[in-house]
Structures are given as structure tokens and as C-alpha cells.
Amino acid sequence: MLNNYLSKASYQAVFLGYNFLPIITWKILSNPAAEIVAFFNNYRIHKQITYLTVNNYDLKLDIYQSLTTKPHPVVIFIHGGGWVDRPKEVELFFLLPYLKMGFSIVNVGYRLAAQSLAPAAVTDCQSALGWTIKNSQKYNFDPEKIIVSGFSAGGHLAMTTAMLPTSADEELKVAAVVNWYGITNVKDLLEGPNIRDYALEWMGNQSDRLEIAESISPINYVHSELPPIFTVHGDADLSVPYNHAVKFHEALNQANVPNQLLTISGGGHGGFSYSQNMKVYKHIENFFIKNDLLGD
């Protein structure tokens, strides 16, 4: 790489007003300057599309896609931040490998704890999936090849989007899940040795918070009809316990769900090196190939 960091000034210049981070760690691009230019030359961007309005609050998503008009498989990406902070643009550069694989990207914002406590973010992301399916023809998405993915809390929301039943009279199906070190047992973070402040903040003082946590924990929704699920998790993660991934994939194996757990030895909560990230994306690409999820 030319370097691992992009300054605030450079970042603002490139993204023309997004201005979401003072400094961004860049551990995914081999040649940042060239790939920035290629990005704007080769992809169409639809910004700040309202997919749902709740209590006068507009929920937005962005679309990134190639200039070709044929139907593309699509990754619905959900950002992390412990359900309590960060904008949807924060992990944008980590989506470039999906674009290079031929996917369109739907980058989803959702209500954080300050706007609405749990489980609002869960239902928001399900609504984003419904919007994507309904607008497949308009944006040249292949509705048979919709993958949901996310980092950390976004990984949790990707899993709940794919796994939880919806309250609406509609069937929302996805083709696969790519979970980056997401929470699989929310209740585990509310009490006992794995308690986490971000989970407590998301739940707030709701009297039924333990019941809510149980109802939105992916570990409680494992069954044989689930789509293929890929997880990457560092075994030294201090934010989301590694055993969340281990126990979840043990349950997937018992239910005969196609799955893969990629462990990053010594890896923390993200922050993987360039070579580690490249390894992850190669495994993800092979996972897509194995499950016939790439475009034609």
C-alpha cells in the first residue's frame, strides 16, 4: 500500500461532503489513490435514499453499483458501532472488494440508541431488505442473490435480518449472510462476565430488556432452512466474545446449515492487517463461488 491512513483533508476532498471521520484506517486497498479514481470512474452512486420513515425520522440508504445495466447480485451492508454510534459511511472502503466481485451495494443506516432503543434497529434493517427486494428491477438487483453483511453490531443485524421472522405479511429471503464478528447472544452482553456498556445503552431502562434480548439473538433462531452463513471473528476480540461465533457455528452445524467460521488467530475486534483482510475476502469470494452467489 502507499500508506495505511487517509487524512481528514484528503478524505473530505475525495468524498465531497461526507465528512464522517477525522482519520480513517485504510487496511483494504493496495493502491488507495488509484482505487479512489477507479471508484468514481466505474461506479454509479445513489445517495441518501429514504427507505422508511418512522415517527417523522427518515431512514436512509446509499447504493453503489457498476455502470452496466445487467442484473447484479447485491450485498446489503449494515455498519457497526454497538448499535449506539457511527454513520453508515464509516466502513465504506471495506465494500470495495464486493464491488470488484461484481456486487451492487446497498449501504444501510438505521436508528441508533439515541433515536430509538432496541429492537428498533432490527426492524429497520428488515425494512431495508424489503425495500431492496421491492426495488430490485429499478436498480438492476438480482433478487435471488441478495447477501446481508455487516461488522460487529452490523453483523448482528445482518443475521437478524436474515433469520428473524417479520411482522409484516411478506416473506423476506436472502441468499447468504456474511457476518464480521457480530453478536449472536445479546442477553449474554447484559449480565454476567461478558456484560458490555454498548449493549446496556442500546437496551436502556426497558423493564423487559432481557426478553427483548432473547427475541433478537441469532443463536435462538437456528434451523435447517437458513441460508449459508459465513463468519469471520478474531479469537482475541475484547468487544464481542469469540465464543459467540464458536457456539453459533456449532449450532449451525447441528442444524446442517451450510456455514464457515474463519478464525483470525490473535485477531481483535476488527483492525485486521492488510494481509489478513485479503485472506478474509478471498475466503468470502470462495464461499460465494461454492454457493453460486456471484453474478453471471
Write phi, then psi, for 177 (nearest 5 degrees).
-125, 135
- pLDDT tens readout for residues 137-159: 999 999 999 999 999 999 999 99
Domain presence at residue 63: yes
pLDDT over 60 at 13, yes or no: no
pTM score = 0.89
124, part of any domain = yes
Residue 7 lies in a domain: no
270-287 pLDDT tens trace: 999 888 999 999 999 999
Could you give the strand order of the β-sheet that contains 57-66, starting from the edge strand earlier in sequence?
43-54, 57-66, 104-108, 72-78, 141-151, 176-180, 229-234, 259-264
The DSSP H or E segment spanning 278 is helix 274-290
Model pLDDT, residue 177: 99
Residue 39 lies in a domain: yes
Instruction: Please report the pLDDT score of residue 90 as a whole number.
Output: 87
Mean pLDDT of 162-182: 89
| Per-residue confidence (pLDDT) for residue 91, from 0 to 100 | 86
In a domain, 5, yes or no: no
For residues 114 and 111, give the distance between their C-alpha atoms in angstroms, rounded to a whole number: 8
Phi, psi dihedral angles at 16 (to 5 degrees): 50, 50
What the block records as the C-alpha cell of 65 is 453499483
CATH number for the domain spanning 42: value is 3.40.50.1820
| 229-234 and 259-264 strand pairing | parallel
In a domain, 10, yes or no: no
In this predicted structure, the answer to whether residue 7 has a pLDDT above a threshold of 60 is no
Number of domains in the chain: 1
Inside any domain, residue 2: no
Per-residue pLDDT at 30 exceeds 70: no
For residue 184, which of 235, 127, 247 has the smallest C-alpha distance?
A: 247
In-domain check, residue 8: no
**Which is higher by pLDDT, 262 or 39?**
262
Using a pLDDT cut of 70, give the percent of the chain over it. Answer: 85
Range of the domain at 107: 24-290
Lookup result for grid cell 479514481: 37
